[in-house]
Amino acid sequence: MNLNENTDITIPIRNLLAIAVGISLFLAQFFLITGRISVLEEDNRKHTEEIETAKTFRYQWSRGELGLVGIDIEQNIRLNHIEKDVITIIKKGEKHEDDYKTHN
Cβ 60 vs Cβ 66: under 8 Å: yes
Residue predicted with more confidence, 66 or 34: 34
Residues 87 and 62 in one domain: no
Residues 60 and 75 in one domain: no
Question: What is the average pLDDT value for the chain, to the nearest integer?
Answer: 89
Residues 51 and 21 in one domain: yes
Confidence (pLDDT) at 70: 67
Residues 43 and 73 in one domain: no
Q: Taking the mean position of all CA atoms in its chain, how far away is CA 4?
A: 64
Domain that holds residue 79: 68-104
pLDDT for 48 beyond 90? yes
